[in-house]
């Protein structure tokens, strides 16, 4: 069971009640009580809860319906996308506690929420030179224009190779065609000719 109060929803705020991860009731409610006292399992010594309570949690923000459903069906180690905002930096900090002392806090690496790549959707989005839903004669699969020497081979555009430079004599020519290597019985290039490993200049 989960109960949320989101003060930013509607004119007064919104209460929502969930059972087994599903919304069962909701309604507008004004936040009137600023008393920080929290009662669990009863109210001022009366209205006692008849049953067992386990894994009681209080959050400092209203969870989304998606997060509550994920808590119910997938456990506590899933953060749904609705809980995140573009540019957020998330980090896990864990501090072990005993009845009398706190241990050392362990800190994970950070995770920054980034926009999903729109490269490949067929329309030119921010940061894209082009987008032809994949490799084409004028556009690479990474949504940049075809350039010989950019390290991305585009077979459709006629690049036999692309070794990230426009220097010849290293196996891939300045125009991104495959070069023979001395000793491989292929002869290419104007200045150096090879034949069975014997170089003639």
User: Which residues in this chain contact Ca ion in the complex, by CB under 5 A?
Assistant: 118, 121, 125, 131, 150, 152, 162-163, 165, 167, 170, 172
| Tokens encoding 81 | 């996308």
The dihedral sign for the CA sequence 43, 48, 49, 53: positive
Q: How far is the CB of 194 from Ca ion (least distance, A)?
A: 17
Q: How far is the CB of 188 from Ca ion (least distance, A)?
A: 13
Kindly write down the DSSP assignment for every residue of 90-119, as one continuous string: E--EE--B-SS-B-PPEE---EE--PPP-T
Exposed/middle/buried for residue 85 (C-beta within 10 Å: 0-12, 13-18, 19+): exposed
Q: How far is the CB of 189 from Ca ion (least distance, A)?
A: 12
Q: Which is nearer to Ca ion, 14 or 166 (CB)?
A: 166
Q: How far is the CB of 170 from Ca ion (least distance, A)?
A: 4
Q: Which is nearer to Ca ion, 95 or 121 (CB)?
A: 121
Q: Which is nearer to Ca ion, 106 or 125 (CB)?
A: 125
**In the bound complex, which residue of the shown chain has the CB atom lying closest to Ca ion?**
131
Q: Which is nearer to Ca ion, 160 or 170 (CB)?
A: 170
| Tokens encoding 182 | 């001395």
Q: How far is the CB of 26 from Ca ion (least distance, A)?
A: 38
CB–CB of 109/124 below 8 Å? Answer: no
The dihedral sign for the CA sequence 32, 36, 37, 42: positive
Q: Which is nearer to Ca ion, 69 or 119 (CB)?
A: 119
């Amino acid at each position: 069971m989960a109960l949320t109060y989101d003060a930013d929803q509607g004119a007064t705020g919104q209460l929502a009640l969930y059972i087994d991860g599903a919304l069962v009731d909701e309604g507008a409610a004004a936040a009137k009580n600023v008393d920080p006292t929290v009662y669990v399992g009863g109210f001022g010594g009366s209205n006692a809860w008849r049953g067992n309570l386990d894994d009681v949690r209080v959050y400092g923000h209203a969870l989304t319906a998606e997060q509550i459903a994920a808590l119910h069906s997938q456990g506590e180690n899933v953060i749904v996308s609705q809980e995140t905002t573009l540019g957020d930096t998330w980090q896990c900090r864990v501090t072990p506690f005993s009845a009398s002392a706190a241990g050392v806090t362990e800190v994970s690496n950070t995770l920054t929420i980034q926009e999903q790549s729109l490269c490949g959707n067929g329309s030119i989005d921010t940061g894209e030179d082009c987008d032809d839903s994949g490799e084409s004669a004028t556009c690479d699969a990474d949504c940049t224009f075809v350039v010989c020497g950019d390290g991305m081979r585009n077979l459709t555009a006629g690049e036999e190779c692309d070794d990230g430079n426009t220097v010849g004599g290293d196996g891939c020519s300045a125009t991104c065609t495959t070069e023979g290597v001395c000793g491989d019985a292929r002869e290419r290039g104007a200045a150096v000719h090879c034949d069975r490993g014997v170089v003639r200049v």
